[in-house]
Every structure is written in structure tokens, then in C-alpha cells.
């Protein structure tokens, strides 16, 4: 029985199969129905193709269409089906990579011409033929030399490059129909096992992300194990298009980016600037309330600053070229951290001074490739919602929890209630060798997350080289997750800049430094906010909170009194006394997503009242202005 292996099932039972048998064989031993439903398997938590030979005992889990991993397997298989369809249309096509990704898949191709939307429809038709054909996915193991020979013969230089870099001497391929790919799997049993898909778009992508390498065409698609899940996802995509911050930014006259001035630079228009002002005013008031002081620091600094911080060594590709002033090189800042450190070092600090919490809405500039720029979500100039906390080791745990508490309250004030924490632990390459310090810092973060009752998971090895961190991701109104808040320790910069404080023992000690961004950057947060609310901002953030509309010219005098009264109470309001019909003006205000339209006619003038039409279509008639103003959240209260 030495050639038998044992597999432990999720229910605790154990089955024995012969070494070299596959996951499909194991499923068949459990039951013929399960074998028919098997898409892939897991051994000791590792996802494997159902055809993979098993040579060691372990914990077995069978993946079916009902499993959480089913979509990943379907998408990987669908990428291959799509690649075969492209090969049929373009026999000379050269193939890059085609992985499954969150919510879908893509494949990169070097093709003789640019693809069109009509091409995507043709590719989909070819894919449907392959699906109906129920072609089996065939797994094959080749020696490295045989794999090189095969992909040379088929003129696939990108695959050859990948093979040359593999240390494995046994190379796995998967084939179906006309298509053979370098691949480890997993794949479904045959092409008929995946049916629910949609090709979405085409984009350019440099081979291996290197702008010096060939530009390939990347076809994006999505696939799901169930028809209902595909429909729900496509519906979400349609909703996301309606909420696209770039379209709404133009329609609502909030912001623009202008290629002739510079890609990735955001222009805040008056309406957008009103929203930004409301955000900044609230942000500043909350920081003062929570024990922070605000800083304003320069936009440029001499090269020694960035040499000391390590940015010129590790981050130079994202920095802009220096400018020479009085014989010295100055760099525009990509980060605020060194400036805050210099403020700290401007005088001797005592343990009695700590903790110091310093925040800044500091504008920084970083180079991003033109292909990744995206509205105000991915830009080259942005204002960080930045802060640094300098504290003693004993204060560390309390400070981390205070940051989390503050962050959660801030996010909820902006209307985000579903928040998840990711605790990123020590990576393989980390500065310092003080394991105890890393462990204490990581544990303080873990305890802070638990104490605040946040849903969380561990991002093993995902910390920065200079300290562990917590990332908070928020979920928006249509279920998308956005990585926003970051809290991270840094023992590196205090060492590099020789920061000290005088302790109770009279000796000098290194402070702990905590980097902290709650909203991330104002530009990206603004984009997320627009999409979360679909442009219909809550009253306290709306750029125009109310518009006063006299029905005719004879109501203009009364309208002016109402308008002046609103302005005196700091309500952001406009007057719309155009000659257009009132229905047209109401419709225009609704398209601008203005919360309240104050409509004034004969009855309102006679009774000294107002009629309010809300953007959702509801009406309040014959009420006093003061009655209307009371109870509305015109500005956000201190939290």
C-alpha cells in the first residue's frame, strides 16, 4: 500500500487513492455526481487543476460551480477560449498573458491591426461556437527544451521569454481546439462547462508593463459560473457608467483635466471647489478637535533632503527632474514626510511634548505613466490628506487605536458604512533586525482593529519595508471596494534623520513615527465621492444647496428677499430668474442635482411662505422659510 495516498475531506472523512491519480479520480471515488460537477480542486488550500497528478497526502476540497473559487476557474478557462477565437481571426497573432482577475479576465495580443467593437462581437461569436463544441481541455507536460521548440515553431516570442525565465524543467501546457498555451491551470473539464461571459473592452498594454517594450492590445472580459451572477455584474457595470466621475464631473461642471496644460493635473471648477472647501473645512475642524495641529510646508526642497530620506535612491522614477537655484538642486516634493521631520527637528523635544500629531493638506507631484491616468482617481499632482504622529513606544498602541477611531468616524460622516481593515505584516526585506519591535507594532495594530470592531484580514508580508501597516477599504453604494486610509509605522526615517527626544531618564531616544492618511488624496477621494453618490451630494456637501425660482417677473422682489435671507444664513444658493418656463428651470436644476428648488408665485408672495421642490420630486408647499431651514444639515456637525 506504499503507493497509496490519503486525502482528508472537509467533513473529516479520509479516502485513499493511488499515487498519481487526479483530483477528478478522487471526486469520482466520493461520488459519480460530484465527479460530473467537478471544476477543480484544492490540496492543502492550493488551487489545482482537476487533471493534476497527486503524489502526496493532504486535505482535499472539490471545487464545483457553487464554490467561491468557481468564477476564477471559469475566467481562466474563458481567457483561453477567447485566445483561440482571436487565433482563428488572426492566425499570425502573438500571445502575451491571459490571467483571471477580480471580476473577470484579460488576454494581451500583438495583432496586425487595432481591434474595434465589431471585432469583439465577432470574437464572442467564435467563442460561443467553441463553447457549444464542448472541446476538452488537455493538460500536457513537456521538457523545457521541448516547450521552447514548440513555441519557437509557432512563432510565440512572448511565451518563449516566459519559459526562459522559469526554473522548472517540466513545463505544463493546456490545449483545446487550435489553441495551446503555456499554463499551469486550473481549467474546467471542457469548453462547454463555461457559458456565461461577456467581452467588455480593448485597451493598450505594454508587454510586462515596460513602455520600452511592444504595445499589445488587451481584451477585457468577464465570466461567471451562473447566468444570474453575470447579469447582476453587467447591471453593476451599467450603473458604474452612469456614476463615472469623469462624465459627472463634466455634466455638473465640477472639474476638468486638460491635455494641453498637462496630463494628470486637475482643474477644480467653482462647483467642485465648493465641495472641496466643505470637505477641507470639515477635515480641519475634526483634526483640531482630535488633538492635531496643522502644518503648511514648501513645495520644493534641496536634494540632500531626498537623499537622506532615501527617495532619490528608491523613488526617483516617480520624481520630476530637479531645478537649479543658486547652484543647488531642488526637487518638487513627492511626499510631505521629510518636511514634517524638519519641523520636528527645529527644536529639542521632550517626552512631555509627545505625542505630536501634525496634519497637512499638502500638494505633491509624482510621475505616473500616461496610460494609467484616470480622471481625478489617478493623477500626477494631488493633495494628500496627510499626517504624521511622533510618539514614545509606550504611546504607540493608544495612538494607533485613536487613528482608527478617528478614521471610522470620518468615513461614516461622509456616508460610508461598510469598511474593512487589512493588516499588512512584515515583508521578507525589512529594515532593522528588531523582531520584538515589529511584533509589538503589529500586535498593537491587530488589537486596535479588534477593539474598534472592524471586519479584517491579514495581508501576510504586505507591510512596507520600514514598518507594518493597516489599510482600510470602503465599499461604495454599488458594492465596489476602494482602498483609502493607510496607517503605517516607520522606524527608518527617524533613524535616517537622527530624530530624538529627551526621555524621563534624561537620555536621548528615538521617537516612533506613524504615517497616516485618512482620505488618501483629495482628488481621488473626490472621484470616489462623486461615484458613491452618483453626483447627488448630501446637502452639506452640495455645491449649490438651493436655487430660488420666481415664477414670473412680478415675483422677483420677494424672491430677492428669500435669496438674501438664505445667503445671510450661509446657505449656498443661486437665483434662477430667467424668462424660461418654470418647468424647464426645475428640470435643469434636477439635472444639476441641486437638493432644493424654492419656487415662488402669487400664493407664496401673499402668504409670506415658500414652496420647496426636492430633487427626488417631492414637494413641500406653503411653509415658512425658517421652518424649512430648521432641521436640515446645511453644514456637517462636529463629530
* Residue 209 to residue 202: CA distance in whole angstroms: 16
Q: Which DSSP letter does residue 246 get?
A: H
**Given 119, 181, 386, 576, the catalytic residue:** 386
CB-count burial class (<10 Å; 0-12, 13-18, 19+) for 191:
buried
CB 622 within 8 A of CB 609: yes
Cα dihedral sign for 439, 441, 446, 450? positive
- 3-state DSSP assignment of residue 547: strand
The candidate with the shortest Cα–Cα distance to 416, out of 378, 473, 498, is 473
Strand-pair category, 573-575 with 546-550 = parallel
Q: Are 139 and 172 in contact, with CB atoms under 8 Å apart?
A: yes
What is the three-class DSSP state of 621?
Answer: strand
Q: Which of 80, 159, 515, 585 is catalytic?
A: 515
State yes or no: cis peptide before 466, omega within 30 of 0: no
Q: Establish how many alpha carbons lie within 13 A of residue 427's alpha carbon, considering only the half-sphere containing its beta carbon.
A: 10
- Helices then strands (H, E): number in the chain? 20, 33
Catalytic residue among 337, 376, 391, 573: 337
Which of these is catalytic: 286, 384, 395, 545?
384
Gap between the Cα atoms of 320 and 541, Å rounded = 34
Known active-site residue 469: yes
Which of 139, 357, 366, 380 does the annotation list as catalytic?
366
Q: Give yes or no: 340 in active site.
A: no
Order of strands, edge to edge, in the sheet holding 323-325? 300-302, 328-332, 323-325
Rg (CA), the chain: 30
**266: helix, coil or strand?**
strand
Q: What is the SS3 string spanning 56-106?
A: CCEEEEEECCCCCCHHHHHHHHHHHHHHHHHHHHCCCCEECCCCEECCEEE
Active site residue 337: yes
* Candidate list 42, 469, 593, 636, residue with the active-site label: 469
Cβ-in-10-Å burial (0-12, 13-18, 19+) of 211 comes to exposed
Across the chain, which distance is largest between two alpha carbons, in Å?
Answer: 101
Among 74, 73, 57, 66, residue whose Cα is nearest residue 9: 57
Query: Can you say whether residue 631 is alpha, beta or left, with left for phi > 0 and alpha for psi between -120 and 50 degrees?
Result: left
Name 136's bridge partners: 190
CB within 8 Å of 484: residues ≥ 6 apart = 411, 472, 473, 474, 518, 519, 520, 525, 528
Establish whether 366 is a catalytic residue.
yes
505: left (phi over 0), alpha (psi -120 to 50) or beta: alpha
The closest of 588, 570, 569 to 578, measured between CA atoms, is 588
HSE value, Cβ hemisphere, 13 Å, CA-based, for 61: 13
Would residue 386 show up in a list of annotated catalytic residues for this protein? yes
Catalytic residue, candidates 388, 524, 532, 613: 388
Count Cβ atoms within 10 A of the Cβ of residue 1 and give its class: 0-12 exposed, 13-18 middle, 19 or more buried. exposed
Active site members? 337, 366, 384, 386, 388, 469, 515
Amino acid at each position: 500500500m506504499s503507493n497509496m495516498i490519503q486525502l482528508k475531506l472537509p467533513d473529516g472523512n479520509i479516502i485513499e487513492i493511488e499515487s498519481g491519480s487526479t483530483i477528478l479520480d478522487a471526486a469520482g471515488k466520493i461520488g459519480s455526481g460530484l465527479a460530473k460537477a467537478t471544476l477543480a480542486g484544492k490540496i492543502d488550500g492550493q488551487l489545482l487543476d482537476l487533471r493534476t497528478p497527486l503524489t502526496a497526502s493532504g486535505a482535499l476540497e472539490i471545487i464545483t460551480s457553487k464554490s467561491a473559487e468557481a468564477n476564477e476557474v471559469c475566467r481562466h478557462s474563458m481567457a483561453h477560449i477567447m485566445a483561440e477565437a482571436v487565433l482563428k481571426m488572426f492566425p499570425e497573432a502573438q500571445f502575451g498573458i491571459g490571467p483571471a482577475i477580480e471580476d473577470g479576465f484579460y488576454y494581451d495580443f500583438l495583432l496586425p491591426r487595432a481591434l474595434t467593437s465589431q471585432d469583439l462581437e465577432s470574437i464572442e461569436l467564435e467563442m460561443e461556437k467553441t463553447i457549444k463544441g464542448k472541446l476538452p481541455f488537455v493538460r500536457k507536460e513537456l521538457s523545457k527544451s521541448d516547450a521552447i521548440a514548440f513555441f519557437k515553431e509557432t512563432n510565440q516570442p512572448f511565451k518563449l521569454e516566459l519559459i526562459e525565465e522559469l526554473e522548472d524543467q517540466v513545463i505544463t501546457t493546456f490545449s483545446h481546439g487550435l489553441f495551446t498555451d503555456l499554463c499551469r491551470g486550473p481549467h474546467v473539464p471542457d469548453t462547454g462547462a463555461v457559458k456565461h461571459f461577456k467581452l467588455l473592452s480593448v485597451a493598450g498594454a505594454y508587454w510586462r508593463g515596460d513602455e520600452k517594450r511592444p504595445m499589445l492590445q488587451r481584451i477585457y472580459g468577464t465570466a461567471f459560473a451562473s447566468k444570474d451572477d453575470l447579469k447582476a455584474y453587467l447591471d453593476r457595470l451599467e450603473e458604474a457608467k452612469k456614476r463615472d466621475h469623469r462624465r459627472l464631473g463634466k455634466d455638473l461642471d465640477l472639474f476638468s483635466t486638460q491635455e494641453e496644460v498637462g496630463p494628470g493635473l486637475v482643474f477644480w471648477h467653482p462647483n467642485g471647489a465648493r465641495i472641496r472647501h466643505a470637505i477641507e473645512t470639515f477635515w480641519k475642524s475634526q483634526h483640531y478637535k482630535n488633538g492635531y495641529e496643522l502644518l503648511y510646508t514648501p513645495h520644493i526642497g534641496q536634494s540632500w533632503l531626498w537623499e537622506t530620506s532615501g527617495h532619490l535612491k528608491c523613488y526617483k522614477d516617480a520624481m520630476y527632474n530637479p531645478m537649479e537655484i543658486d547652484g543647488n538642486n531642488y526637487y518638487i516634493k513627492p511626499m510631505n514626510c521629510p518636511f514634517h521631520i524638519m519641523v520636528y527637528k527645529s527644536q529639542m523635544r521632550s517626552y512631555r511634548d509627545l505625542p505630536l500629531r501634525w496634519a497637512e493638506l499638502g500638494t505633491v507631484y509624482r510621475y505616473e505613466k500616461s496610460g494609467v491616468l484616470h480622471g481625478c482617481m489617478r493623477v500626477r499632482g494631488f493633495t494628500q490628506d496627510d499626517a504624521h504622529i511622533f510618539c514614545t513606544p509606550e504611546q504607540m498602541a493608544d495612538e494607533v487605536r485613536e487613528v482608527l477611531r478617528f478614521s471610522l468616524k470620518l468615513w461614516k460622516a461622509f456616508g460610508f458604512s461598510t469598511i474593512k481593515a487589512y493588516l499588512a505584516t512584515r515583508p521578507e526585506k525589512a529594515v532593522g533586525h528588531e523582531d520584538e519591535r515589529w511584533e509589538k507594532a503589529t500586535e498593537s495594530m491587530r488589537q486596535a482593529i479588534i477593539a474598534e470592531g472592524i471586519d479584517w484580514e491579514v495581508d501576510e508580508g504586505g507591510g512596507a519595508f520600514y514598518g507594518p501597516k493597516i489599510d482600510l477599504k470602503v465599499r461604495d453604494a454599488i458594492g465596489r471596494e476602494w482602498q483609502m486610509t493607510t496607517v503605517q509605522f516607520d522606524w527608518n526615517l527617524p533613524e535616517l534623520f537622527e530624530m530624538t527626544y529627551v526621555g524621563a531618564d534624561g537620555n536621548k531616544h528615538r521617537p516612533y513615527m506613524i504615517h497616516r492618511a485618512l482620505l488618501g488624496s483629495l482628488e481621488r477621494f473626490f472621484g470616489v465621492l462623486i461615484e458613491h453618490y452618483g453626483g447627488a451630494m448630501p446637502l452639506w456637501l452640495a455645491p449649490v444647496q438651493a436655487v430660488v425660482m420666481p415664477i414670473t417677473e412680478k415675483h422677483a422682489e420677494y424672491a430677492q428677499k428669500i435669496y438674501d435671507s438664505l445667503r445671510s444664513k450661509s446657505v449656498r444658493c443661486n437665483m434662477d430668474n430667467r424668462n424660461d418656463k418654470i418647468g424647464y428651470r426645475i428640470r435643469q436644476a434636477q439635472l444639476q442635482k441641486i437638493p432644493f428648488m424654492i419656487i415662488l408665485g402669487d400664493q407664496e408672495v401673499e402668504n409670506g411662505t415658500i414652496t420647496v421642490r426636492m430633487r427626488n420630486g417631492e414637494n413641500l408647499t406653503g411653509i415658512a422659510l425658517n421652518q424649512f431651514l430648521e432641521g436640515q444639515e446645511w453644514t456637517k456637525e462636529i463629530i
